[in-house]
Amino acid sequence: MGMTMTQKILARAAGVESCRAGELLMCRLDLVLGNDITAPVAINEFVKMGATKVFDPAKIALIPDHFVPNKDIKSATMAKQMRDFARAQKIVHYYEVGRVGIEHALLPEQGIVAPGEVIIGADSHTCTYGAVGAFSTGVGSTDMAVGMATGECWFKVPEAVKVVLHGKMKPWVSGKDVILHLIGEIGVDGALYQSLEFTGEGVKEIDMDGRLTIANMAIEAGAKNGIFPVDDVCKAYLAQRVSRPWTAFEADEDAEYAKVVEINLDELDMTVSLPHLPENTKPARECTDLAIDQVVIGSCTNGRISDMRVAAKILKGKKVAPYVRCIVIPGTQQVVKTCLEEGLVDIFIDAGAIFTMPTCGPCLGGHCGVLADGERAVSTTNRNFVGRMGHTGSEVILASPAVSAASAIMGRVATPEEVM
């Protein structure tokens, strides 16, 4: 029996010829990631276990992105602990305020992740890097600590779900709609500890930003990881960013899958996820009676330049509805620069939106857009659990940048056709 993409990557990292679902493997790591919330816990465990040096300063990434610029004394203390550790250990991939971006937007942009690599991060959305053909997954801070010290981590080889994409997407439909539709179809535990492996002729219709969005939300279906093939679209993206050697893996024709899910992109419509689970999906045009108080456009899911361009295209010459807050959060400093160069910032401000620094901010109810009791937001973020963005009495509707921008104008869930 052949192997899936994920199984091949894990087998190579473990130094074995082949592996099967359910096997336990100790794998060499190509990157260990932490942020200003999770890294301090890992650093404490690193010290407790008696470690004095990281296994490779060039294979650790410490990204202060959740509560920076620091929102209070506690967050400042956590960021300082990570900064001091990075300085002492001579960590190569540490990015200070002014250079930092949202971790899962920054690392692909900077070429820090590449095909065939094994990446762990003490953040559940580390699965983002499957978009470039890597095996990447979230772990706990203790596993991060061990990974920093030893350069290894054990995995149970996951079963795989084959997601076959057919056809072409309609105007305004995006990668966010693809992953919301998939989660709505299989549920938040539909791929529990499995690998979501995307394939089919429809893959070429999705740009890299869309693939990063889809892989980012694989965890919302319970998946261990999400992964895309390394095709010409991916190679062109990597050519501008990654100079070191990398290896792409393809699934064998006789690879074994736990199940196969087919998605016809021709039939896919703009989709939203209603409170309080990502699986609670409906076509956006069926939810236009839902009034909103806030819109967030950004995050590690949809804070890339293509997301900014789509939102600006819809907001240009329009106004955000009265009493609605529209917060636009670019994913990295490079996205900020491009938005400035292309005049997108003027469009956002003229529309009545606020354009902020790169931060996770409101996604986790941290800062820069926390919701009060009874408030409802449309957001391009990845989770809409109870209390995710603030008060437990608030609500979050997940949507694409296109739907979010249109909703900001209308003051309710809306589609671009209503405002263009």
Sign of the Cα torsion 269, 215, 211, 202 reads negative
Question: What per-residue confidence (pLDDT) applies to 364?
Answer: 86
Please say if the pLDDT value at position 194 is more than 90: yes
> How far is Cα 203 from Cα 222, in angstroms, rounded to an integer?
22
Cα–Cα distances (Å) from 392 to 82, 375, 404, in that order, read 30, 10, 22
Residue-level pLDDT at 363: 86
For residue 420, name the pLDDT band (cuts at 50, 70, 90): confident
- The predicted-structure confidence for 61-71, as pLDDT tens digits, reads as follows 999 999 988 88
pLDDT band at 187 (very low <50, low <70, confident <90, very high): very high
- What are the structural domains of the chain? 5-247+256-264 (3.30.499.10), 272-418 (3.30.499.10)
pLDDT of residue 122: 95
Contact 229, 199 (CB under 8 A): yes
Confidence label for 366 from pLDDT (cuts 50, 70 and 90)? confident
Both tokens of residue 379? 């957001």
pTM value surpassing 0.85 = yes
pLDDT at 1 over 80: no
Which of helix, strand or coil describes residue 77?
Answer: helix
